[in-house]
Structure 1
């Protein structure tokens, strides 16, 4: 079973590949700030399935969530900080390699990134889709490296 370094590396490679494909077919124009956010989400997606164990990946994931939460609070985005907190607690209710290592969790866990902004702020799905896809890409890379498919 790969460690957190392999999962982080795999997510970066997968994220860059997906980004290059989208740029190449004209579906995405590179914005450096957004690319940084997308890569962070990709890495968080890759670390998420293993945060139900005591590991370096878990500490990295929660450190990233803490920084993201503090940034949201700094920018007075309290609702998003609360939603992020709820998402971060989900793995604590299952055993290792339980629901967090399934293909359906890969699609459902990041779903709040699409649904909440749509219903709370009325944002369009195309605006939100890159963030969702970044997390799913990282998650997919984790499951692929763990040979879950």
Structure 2
């Protein structure tokens, strides 16, 4: 079973390949600052399935979630910080290689990135889709490396 470094590397490669494919077919235009966010989301997606174990990947994932939560609180985005907190707790309610290692979790876990901004702020799906795809791509790379398909 690959470690967190392999999953991070796999997510970066998979994320860049998907991004290049989308740019190549004309479905997406890269903005440099957004590229960093997309790569980070891909990495978080790749680390997510293993955060139900005591691992280095778990510590990296939750360190990132803590920084993001504190940033949201600093900017008085308490509602988003609360959503993030609830989502961060989900893996703690299952056994390792339980629901976090399924194809349907790969699609459902990042769904709040699409639904919450749409329903709370009325943002259109096309502007949110790259973030969802980045997380799903990282998640997919994890499941692929773990030979779950």
Question: Which residue in 1 is equivalent to 2:148?
Answer: 148
Question: Which residue in 1 is equivalent to 2:54?
Answer: 54
Question: Which residue in 2 is equivalent to 1:117?
Answer: 117
Q: Could you tell me how far 1:27 is from its partner in structure 2?
A: 1.1
1:139 aligns with 2:139: yes
SS at match of 2:96: coil
Please give the TM-score of this superposition, normalised by the length of structure 1: 0.97
Q: Could you tell me how far 1:62 is from its partner in structure 2?
A: 0.2
Query: In the TM superposition, what whole-angstrom CA distance separates every residue of 1:99-147 from its partner, at most 9, and x where no partner exists?
Result: 0000000000000111111111111111110111010000000000000
Query: In the TM superposition, what whole-angstrom CA distance separates every residue of 1:16-42 from its partner, at most 9, and x where no partner exists?
Result: 101111111111111111111111110
CA distance in 1, matches of 2:33, 2:66: 19
Q: What is the aligned-residue RMSD (CA, Å)?
A: 0.8
1:129 aligns with 2:129: yes
CA distance in 2, matches of 1:137, 1:104: 13
1:34-45 mapped onto 2 (5 Å cutoff): 34-45=34-45
CA distance in 1, matches of 2:131, 2:109: 13
Question: Which residue in 2 is equivalent to 1:27?
Answer: 27
Would you identify which runs of 4 or more consecutive aligned residues in structure 1 move more than 3 Å? Answer: none
Q: Could you tell me how far 1:75 is from its partner in structure 2?
A: 2.4
Which runs of 5 or more residues in structure 1 are unaligned?
none
CA distance in 2, matches of 1:23, 1:75: 33
Query: In the TM superposition, what whole-angstrom CA distance separates every residue of 1:11-67 from its partner, at most 9, and x where no partner exists?
Result: 000001011111111111111111111111100000000000000000000011111
